[in-house]
Amino acid sequence: MTQAATEHAVSDHIVELQGKQYMRDSKGSLMPIELVKPIDKLMDETVRKILGYAEPLSAEISRFKQHTLDDVAGFQALIAQEYGTTKGGEKGNLTLLSYDGLQKVQIQIQDRVEFGPELQAAKTIVDECLRDWSSDSGPEIRAIVGRAFNVDKAGKINAAELLKLTRLDIADERWQQGMRAIREAERRIAAKEYVRFFRRASTADDWIAVRMDLAAL
């Protein structure tokens, strides 16, 4: 009889095999539970307890966001029906205020940008320009170039810095070709919707965000 056929799950992290209990380690191997260090058992228990709260809370927030977007869409549909238009700004951005002006809901839609293979050609051209210009290119330009082509920890290029690069007033034909390559490398993919909530004590006060991001609390 195979091991898989004789395994019995006592819980989501403890397996019983031929009358003995095991915990599966990070490599997928079964470790006899009596050989697992007490501190490792406690850490395992702590993590599972926290995730036991975090996962349903995350699902609830996700449902709340969708309900919010549905409510806003319903409101926009009423506006469209009443006036034949939609209540929204550029790219679908929208702000709703309570009647007393003390509560606010904002919907922001931001395009997600990625860059195609043309970007590598652009970097080659820009590097060539900087080498040829030598001391004629000031440290400011070199700093902007460095930031523009710097890849962050997630492996993504900083689109805002690349945009700054294309706005530099440099007449060199090669530079202009490189900037054209950057613009043609840009790929706008599916937009992302952000929902934000604010309140204030009076109309003379600043808005205070209602935080739902743990990192911002």
User: What's the pLDDT score for residue 68?
Assistant: 94
What pLDDT, on the 0 to 100 scale, is given for residue 140? 67
- Do 27 and 99 lie in a common domain? no
> Can you tell me the distance from the alpha carbon of 121 to that of 205, in angstroms, rounded to the nearest whole number?
50
Same domain membership, residue 95 and residue 79: no
Same domain, 52 and 123: no
Residue 178 and residue 113 in one domain: yes
Residues 114, 49 within the same domain:
no
Strand ranges for the chain from DSSP E = 7-9, 14-17, 20-24, 30-32, 94-97, 103-115, 186-199, 208-209
* Residue 143 and residue 99 share a domain: yes
Residues 177 and 110 in one domain: yes
pLDDT, mean of each 10-residue run, the chain (217 residues)? 56 83 90 94 94 94 93 88 64 87 92 82 86 68 76 64 83 89 83 90 95 77
User: Which pLDDT belongs to residue 209?
Assistant: 94
Which of these, 152, 84, 154, 159, lies nearest to 114 by C-alpha position? 159
Q: How many domains does the chain have?
A: 3
Same domain for 19 and 126, yes or no, is: no
**pLDDT attached to residue 134:** 67
157 lies in the same domain as 95: yes
For residues 112 and 66, membership in a common domain is answered with no
Predicted local confidence at residue 114, as pLDDT: 80
Structure tokens at 194: 């952000």
Element (H, E) at 108: strand 103-115
pLDDT for 6: 67
d(CA 198, CA 209): 4
pLDDT of residue 169: 83
**Which pLDDT does position 2 carry in this prediction?**
47
pLDDT of residue 135: 60
The domain of 136 spans: 91-217
Asked if 67 and 98 sit in the same domain, the reply is: no
